[in-house]
Amino acid sequence: MLQPYASPVERVWYYSLRVLCGLIIVFLVVPILVIVPLSFNADSILMYPMSGFSWRWYHEFFGSVTWTNALKNSLIISPLATLVAVVLGTLASIGLVRVNFPGKALLISVLISPMVVPVVIAGVAVYLFFAPLGLSGSYLGLILAHAMLGVPFVITTMTATLQQFDYNLVRASASLGADPIKTFFKVTLPLVAPGVISGALFAFATSFDEVVVTLFLASPEQRTLPRQMFSGIRENISPTIAAAATVLVAVATLLLLVLELVRRRSERLRGAPTPIAKSVRRSFLKKRIEA
Amino acid sequence: MATLRQHLLGMTALVGTGLAFAAPAQADLTVISFGGAVQQAQIKAYYEPFTAATGIKIIPGEYNGEQAKIKAMVDTKNVTWDVVEVETAELLRGCEEGLYEPLDFAKIGDKKDFLASAVTECGIGTFVWATILAYNADKLTTPPTSWADFWDVKKFPGKRSLRKGAKFTLEIALLADGVKPAEVYKVLATKEGVDRAFAKLDQIKGDIQWWQAGAQPPQMLASGDVIMSSAYNGRIATAQKEGRNLQIVWNGSVYDADHWTIPKGTPNAAEAYKFIQFASLPKTQGAYSQQIAYGPVNLKAIDGLDAKIAANLPTAPKNLENALANNGQFWVEYGEELEQRFNAWAAK
Amino acid sequence: MTALDDTQATAPGSVPLRVQLRRAERITKLKYLGLIAPLAIFLAVTFLWPIGALLWHSVDNPEVVEALPETTKLLRSWDRKALPDEAVFAAFARDLAAAHGNPALAGAAKRLNMERSGFRSQLMNTGRKLRVEAGQSAKAAVLAADARWGEVSSWQALARNSTPFTAFYLLAALDHKIADDGSIVHADPDQTIYVEILLRTLWMSVIVTLISLALAYPLAYLLATIPSKSSNLLMIMVLLPFWTSVLVRVAAWIVLLQNEGPINRALVGLGIVDEPLQLVFNRLGVYIAMVHILLPFAVLPLYSVMKGISPSYVRAAVSLGSPPFRSFWKIYFPLTLPGIGAGGLLVFILSMGYYITPALLGSPREQMASYFVAFYVNETTNWGMAAALSTILLAATLVLYIIYSRYFGPARVNQVAPR
């Protein structure tokens, strides 16, 4: 807050910081604000000014086999990849947090490395390796590869969450006679659920936004939404792209909202308010952006 | 314990669903072509009638002619593409390298019914197309008439566009440099000739915006991003039909045939033959040429063409006057090194 | 659980409690390791092994040995100076006869053509034409099929590929090659590009990192210092683009930056420029989009560091008479260095691997190392070159990643803290 007794220098500093940050925020948000309205444009060129309102491009999007197939593929692949990543990642995180052994830091670095290895390298490697196994051009291959890319996010969010977890609660539950399974579902899971959910969201977003590995691995049958957008941008920039983009923005907003709800819920459970970015800080390296 | 078991069961079921998706449904035919307007025309002229006639569903896919995926599929014996449209050089090289099934013409038709250049060991031609010079007549008041004009940045200031790749681009550079069509491949087979082509390209390197997919030139021309471009003639003709004022310069066009091939080891070879046979009939080929301005290779289809359509095809005598036939064998021989050099040159 | 088992440990005559406890601990430890194992195995199979196999391709050289087994065996002991003797020619003729019509020969021809232009036709034509008549020497027959076999350099190229491993690709990826006399020399100028590409990759990553940090710093500062109600909203504005697909953002930037796009229209309309500026499909467009995508990666670590800095430090300095700017620079800024390091390194590492953004928004001159990996895989099917370039890019990335995880990384953050 600007104090009433602030000096002129402080005033200039105060306002220029805010103006600068305003501009940066505009820079961050404007692309999304620009593309969404264009999807309702009546004109057939992806360009401003808009000539009128129309649902035409959504009809085109949902009426085209290519686009609906791509959407369907994304909705098959991403949830399954998320499931694999979350199950394997959560189990491993429990182990990693509870036990110390030599080389553990190295192991964690290795488990997280799919996030930093250039995606093209991961894509080519997986492609050359999966092809002889009959996994290239198959849903299973894509699901496994996407799960591999999602694992680091589950690991980072889960280990962070589990470190906050008070293990005495498990002991208390055991001493009161609950078996380990019951303890897990009644005590552990509710408390670590926010971590699981945010890890899952990150893994989902990673898969849902994945192009490069898909580029190498998928045959036309398995084309995902981002993969179809890649062709679209390169080959045929039509407003259908804007409609597809709007669908993706809607998904992103939904994910962000769920994450926010999860954060609020975990705040309530813990009884301590955490600023929004605290969970962000814990997960540290966030969603992998491949581009 | 029961809860855990249920969870495990649920998970197994889910993974099982995933596995089920991994196995492609029987008898669907994956047909890969060059996408965009070509694919639209193929869907109308070939895919939809074929599915209607045989009940075999076609999954259309597109690519830009890269052979790597096919090689990986064949090498690893995991072939998921059943029929592929390829350009001549890739066809010949792929045949040598064992990527494509040698064709049994008994299952396709009489060899005599087709243009001689359309019949090769591993492929059957499907249409004749040309790379031409196209321009936006709304933006250019004086029309360019040759590739030399394409290089004239004083007379025609502004960006221009060429296909990102050595094939056709080097030929065009030599044509612009005054080499006669008949001499182009002779010159290009020498180190000096290649240097000459690259030196010519150097003159306008800063003014070139490269395209990769056939759908790009008409868009870039229409939006005014470039004033002229090399392009596939059929794409420009399609854009004309959609009301864009784009024009074609046939002088110095480079024409080639595209071919249907069957990647070696596809499990759906029988259906693939059925499709190729169907797509090589005079009737379907004629229908294709009505959809997009590419010439048929079935002689009976050529005879049956409407005169108005025929005049816009690369094979019309008027359009062939100063045209260059792509030399597939040359590109089999020099393609890899020239593409590599081109890529290094473009990136500098 | 183990705590319950301990009650029996006091029974007389049993193993001492200490030993029992240790054993129980070991079992627990094994259980937890058992939880890590599935993921470790999963990643080994879907990630580590494939990457290892890819790196292997950068030295793997099977084509010529497979197609010409006898010839290459003999050539390994050839002095590589004068033309090889009749025995080699005879072996060569036998190999060619055996390989005729076999795709392996085309593979070898493709490989040898990388060594010397024209080798493909030399080998393929010889394979087609070669007939050794009775009583004719193999050498005469081979030379009759193609006179180029009379040049020592043809055989030197074959000899360089007579072993199943090669340094060819790795050297080529560093703009070098092995000359006919066996020495390592610079590649031809029209083929040299990769050192430049590697430097370009580093340079573009540096620029993107610096711009991202410069923009992230004030934004993170504001986020960390304003009340949490307003900061929550601001954070959502940072996170929304972060969660939005990269392709959506690339498409949006094309719309915004194109010749007839809103930015150019505004510039022309306001009379700032006469003609639309080229803002996209060049370096500028790539920088804009990359910074846009990577900015949140710089904001978040900076923010989390700044949030931990107590405002009282700077206040104390100011109250002790230090001017505000000096206090900021001497007190606050040094405390944020870990955030700058973490955010900067993260942005840098991610930039190095960029492919989609330059591919869609740049010209060939903006393409980075990843593009060339994809080029060799997709367009010329040259897995050796793709692997060699991957090896170099991966090595550069790993060095940075090691620095990162050593000083800022999750491995450090996630060390088990005794509670």
CATH classification of the domain holding A139: 1.10.3720.10
Residue A289 lies in a domain: no
pLDDT over 90, % of chain A:
43
Residue A28 lies in a domain: no
What pLDDT band is residue A214 in, cutting at 50, 70 and 90? Answer: very high
Picking from B225, B185, C44, the residue whose alpha carbon sits closest to that of residue A129 is: C44
Q: Do A234 and C250 touch (CB under 8 A)?
A: no
Residue B17 pLDDT: 41
C11 or A259, higher pLDDT:
A259
Q: Is B292 helix (H, G, I), strand (E, B) or coil?
A: coil
Cβ-nearest to B340 among C364, C377, C380: C380
Please give the span between the terminal C-alpha atoms of chain C, in angstroms, as a whole number: 20
Residue of B nearest to A73 (CA): B21
Q: Do A139 and B75 touch (CB under 8 A)?
A: no
Distance from CA of B299 to the nearest CA of A (A): 33
Q: Do A125 and C53 touch (CB under 8 A)?
A: yes
A231 or B124, higher pLDDT:
B124
The tokens of B175 are what?
């044509």
Residue A168 lies in a domain: yes
The tokens of A195 are what?
């971590």
The chain-wide mean pLDDT, for chain B, equals 89
Chain B interface mutation, best of C111, C168, C190, C360, highest count of B Cβ atoms under 10 Å: C190
Q: What is the mean pLDDT of the segment spanning A46-53?
A: 81
CA B174 to CA B194: how far, in whole Å? 9
- AA letter at A45: I
Is A48 an interface residue toward C (CB < 8 Å)? yes
Least confident of A35-49, A124-138, B38-52, C246-260: A35-49
C322 or C109, higher pLDDT:
C109
The pLDDT of residue A78 is above 60: yes
Least confident of B248-262, B298-312, C161-175: B298-312
Picking from B119, B204, B206, the residue whose alpha carbon sits closest to that of residue B155 is: B204
Residue A53 lies in a domain: no
Residue B57 pLDDT: 92
Map out the domains of chain B with their CATH numbers.
8-128+257-317 (3.40.190.10), 129-256+321-347 (3.40.190.10)
The pLDDT of residue C240 is above 90: no
The CB-side HSE value for C19 (13 A sphere, CA atoms) comes to 4
Is A169 an interface residue toward C (CB < 8 Å)? no
What pLDDT band is residue A291 in, cutting at 50, 70 and 90? Answer: very low
CA A207 to CA A152: how far, in whole Å? 12
Q: Which residues of chain C have a CB within 8 Å of the CB of A101?
A: 29, 33
Residue A273 pLDDT: 43
C339 near C220, Cβ under 8 Å?
yes
- AA letter at C406: R
Q: Do B347 and C379 touch (CB under 8 A)?
A: no
Picking from A260, A244, A270, A258, the residue whose alpha carbon sits closest to that of residue A74 is: A244
Picking from B52, C140, C121, C307, the residue whose alpha carbon sits closest to that of residue A282 is: C307
Distance from CA of C47 to the nearest CA of A (A): 7
The pLDDT of residue C366 is above 70: yes
Q: Which residues of chain B have a CB within 8 Å of the CB of C358?
A: none
Residue A265 lies in a domain: yes
Label residue C318 exposed, middle or buried (CB < 10 Å: 0-12, 13-18, 19+).
middle
Q: Which residues of chain A have a CB within 8 Å of the CB of B219?
A: 236-237
Chain B interface mutation, best of C123, C193, C365, highest count of B Cβ atoms under 10 Å: C193
Q: Do C256 and A281 touch (CB under 8 A)?
A: no
The pLDDT of residue A289 is above 70: no
Is B66 an interface residue toward C (CB < 8 Å)? yes
| DSSP element (H, E) containing A230 | helix A225-235
Residue of A nearest to B14 (CA): A80
The pLDDT of residue B14 is above 50: no
The number of distinct structural domains making up chain A is: 1
Distance from CA of A272 to the nearest CA of C (A): 14
The torsion defined by the Cα of C147, C149, C153 and C154, in degrees rounded to 10, comes to 120
Chain C interface mutation, best of A3, A26, A28, highest count of C Cβ atoms under 10 Å: A28
Residue B22 pLDDT: 43
The pLDDT of residue A9 is above 90: no
What pLDDT band is residue B186 in, cutting at 50, 70 and 90? Answer: very high
Q: Which residues of chain C have a CB within 8 Å of the CB of A230?
A: 247, 356, 360
Q: Which residues of chain A have a CB within 8 Å of the CB of C54?
A: 121, 124-125, 128-129
Q: Do A237 and B219 touch (CB under 8 A)?
A: yes
Q: What is the mean pLDDT of the segment spanning A37-62?
A: 86
Q: Do B336 and C124 touch (CB under 8 A)?
A: no
Residue A70 pLDDT: 94
Q: Which residues of chain B have a CB within 8 Å of the CB of A220?
A: 30, 32, 59-62
The pLDDT of residue B143 is above 90: yes
Residue A160 lies in a domain: yes
CA B125 to CA B127: how far, in whole Å? 6
Residue C231 pLDDT: 86
Three state DSSP letters for C268-284: HHCCCCCCCCCCCCCHH
DSSP secondary structure of C170-228? HHHHTTEEE-TTS-EEEPPTTT--HHHHHHHHHHHHHHHHHHHHHHHHHHHHHHHHS-H
Residue A84 lies in a domain: yes
Residue B255 pLDDT: 95
Distance from CA of C55 to the nearest CA of B (A): 17
Query: What subunits touch chain B, counting only 3 or more CB pairs under 8 A?
Result: A, C
Is C245 an interface residue toward A (CB < 8 Å)? yes
Residue A254 lies in a domain: yes
pLDDT digits (tens, 9 = 90+) for A157-193: 888 888 878 888 888 988 998 888 888 888 888 888 8
Residue B148 pLDDT: 96
The whole domain housing A264 covers: 65-283
Q: What is the mean pLDDT of the segment spanning C47-55?
A: 96
